[in-house]
Amino acid sequence: MKFIFSHKIAIALLSLTLLSSCQDLFNESNIKSNPNAVTDVDVATLLSGTLLGTAMLHEDTDVRISAIWTGQLNGLSRQHQTFASYIVSAGTFSWSPLYPVASQARLIQTKADLVGDKWTKGVGQILEALVIAKATDLYGDVPYSQAFDDVKYPTPVFDKQASVYAALQTVLDNAIQNLSASAGLSFSGQDFIYKGDVKKWKAAAYTLKARLYLHTGEYAKAVTSAGLGISSTAGDALTPHGTSQGVDDNQNYDFFRINRAGDTGFDGAYLPALMQSRIGSANTKTDETALYNHYFKVGISTTGALDPNTADGMFTEDASHPILTYYENQLIIAEAQARLGVNDKALEALNLVRAGLATGYLHGKTISATGRKYDAYTLSDFGPAGLANPAKLATVQTALLYEIVAQRYIFFLMQYEAFNDVRRLEKAAPIVQLPIPLYAGTKKPQRFIYPQNEINTNPNVPNPLPDQFQKVQIYQ
């Protein structure tokens, strides 16, 4: 079975895949229309559906597995308990709707070219980069250069991960150029992320570039790109949700509270332990109690269980979900500058995140003021006896990096970027890591396994097949 479909088949498959799991999400007429009933689809309808698909890929089972493998979440029952033991097979994973969504993002660009619409084309390029970045982040080498022409390339080659990253940077450069055009067609009615705001999409492209440069250790480029990236929380790319179950509700809520309550939770996970250790520390400038309570709540699934807070916190039914954010943008600057040895600029960026958290803002919500404190740090706080250096690390640089890394880990709950961080930090110099324990065995998961359908049908799948413990190329 080919994993890249012709355009008409892909549109139908995308509709069936998305609507079967989240029918009429966002309740837009463009999304509710039946692509099977027509022989062609206009670019506006295509943009709505592709945005929906991209958003869902940031809240799916793959993200949940990555959170378990990162130690943020724990698998407690049924299939997710095996995930916590790092037991997976090629049948665990699928490239649908991952590649069908990427195919639609490419088709948006083709259709936009037909009408000279550079703005919509630029958004299509950003969506393509978001989806393919997820594919290569989780799987390493993946099809890309031959992925969207099933007639010419029925069994596409697997491009090296480093080549995919380089290609994505070019795609994003082209997206920025297209979004810089003086005029384009309005797509505000189809855009539930930014309501057609071209400047916000352009800033998001720069933040995504910065994320990818951080992955590849190109820190100066990461700083430059992030400097043009999302400049305030008003520019956060968030997926909106509502309170209609099975229609527009948050997919984490649907999993944690409705469909699989108790299958996963935070008992035995490292994230709450880390946060409790910080809450109990001598750091008088920080109190993360409010954030802890925003993430976790006791006794929702069963008495005494430490559950995702689906009652009044991060995982309520109508909670927005992050894709790209201002806080991430600043944390990229913070880490990249610290690794370059520019500690004052690193601290400045970290303090901007802390200033935002001090207001209570997180992903469109306001967390409680009780137990919420994020006073600005000074560099002396990271000295050998500093209040923000509980491990007594030898240098200000390493202590500052540890705080930045910890803040990223806490912030990226239920974002697969945390899985990228855990693997990336094994290589990034200077080495600064969180002491995340393993759930089982002696090996840390490093990647997802290629799907069985692809193994069966594409002779270009890497041979021998890598298992879940083999590092991907860019983190070796």
Whether the per-residue pLDDT at 427 is higher than 60: the answer is yes
Task: Report the C-alpha gap between 252 and 22 in whole angstroms.
Answer: 12
Task: Report the C-alpha gap between 307 and 266 in whole angstroms.
Answer: 6
CA 18 to chain centre: 19
What is the reported pLDDT for 15? 46
What percent of the chain stands above pLDDT 70? Answer: 92
Q: Which CATH fold topology does 1-193+442-476 show?
A: 1.25.40
Q: Give the closest residue to 124 by CA, choosing from 97, 104, 142, 146.
A: 104
Exposure class string for 141-180: b at 16+ Cβ within 10 A, else e: bbbbebbbebeebebbebbbbeebbebbbebbebbbebbe
In the three-class reduction of DSSP (H, G, I as helix; E, B as strand; rest coil), residue 230 is classed as coil
Task: Report the C-alpha gap between 347 and 338 in whole angstroms.
Answer: 8
Q: Give the residue-averaged pLDDT of 224-241.
A: 98
Task: Report the C-alpha gap between 169 and 225 in whole angstroms.
Answer: 11
Q: Give the closest residue to 34 by CA, choosing from 45, 50, 47.
A: 45
Q: Give the residue-averaged pLDDT of 297-313.
A: 97
Average pLDDT, the chain: 92
Supply angle C-alpha 191, 194, 200, rounded to 5: 135
Q: Which of 73-77, 82-86, 389-393 has the lowest mean pLDDT?
A: 389-393
What is the reported pLDDT for 44? 86
Q: Which of 44-48, 210-214, 237-241, 432-436 has the lowest mean pLDDT?
A: 44-48
What is the reported pLDDT for 360? 98
Q: Give the closest residue to 157 by CA, choosing from 149, 165, 168.
A: 149
Q: Give the residue-averaged pLDDT of 80-96.
A: 97
- What residue spans define the domains of the chain? 1-193+442-476, 218-236+265-321+323-414
Which neighbouring-strand residues pair with 306?
298
- Cα→Cα distances 149→1, 4, 204, Å: 14, 7, 28
3-class secondary structure per residue, 157-197: CCECHHHHHHHHHHHHHHHHHHHCCCCCCCCCCCCCCCCCC
Whether the per-residue pLDDT at 461 is higher than 80: the answer is yes
What is the reported pLDDT for 245? 86
Q: Give the residue-averaged pLDDT of 269-293.
A: 97
Q: What is the pLDDT of residues 338-364, one digit of tens each?
A: 999 999 999 999 999 999 999 999 999
What is the reported pLDDT for 35? 40
What is the reported pLDDT for 88? 97
- Residue bearing tokens 């997710």: 80
Q: Give the residue-averaged pLDDT of 295-301.
A: 97
**245: Cβ–Cβ under 8 A, 6 or more apart, which residues?**
254, 258, 317
Q: In which band, very low, low, confident or very high, does the pLDDT at 209 lie, cut at 50, 70 and 90?
A: very high
Q: Give the residue-averaged pLDDT of 282-297.
A: 98
What is the reported pLDDT for 122? 98
Whether the per-residue pLDDT at 98 is higher than 50: the answer is yes
pTM metric for this prediction: 0.92
Whether the per-residue pLDDT at 2 is higher than 70: the answer is no
What is the reported pLDDT for 26? 38
What is the reported pLDDT for 452? 97
Whether the per-residue pLDDT at 36 is higher than 60: the answer is no
Q: Give the residue-averaged pLDDT of 162-189.
A: 96
Question: Does residue 252 come out as left (phi exceeding 0), alpha (psi in the -120 to 50 range) or beta?
Answer: alpha
Whether the per-residue pLDDT at 366 is higher than 90: the answer is yes
What is the reported pLDDT for 10? 41
DSSP 8-state symbol, 309: -
For the ranges 10-19, 23-32, 283-292, the one whose mean pLDDT is highest = 283-292
**435: Cβ–Cβ under 8 A, 6 or more apart, which residues?**
none
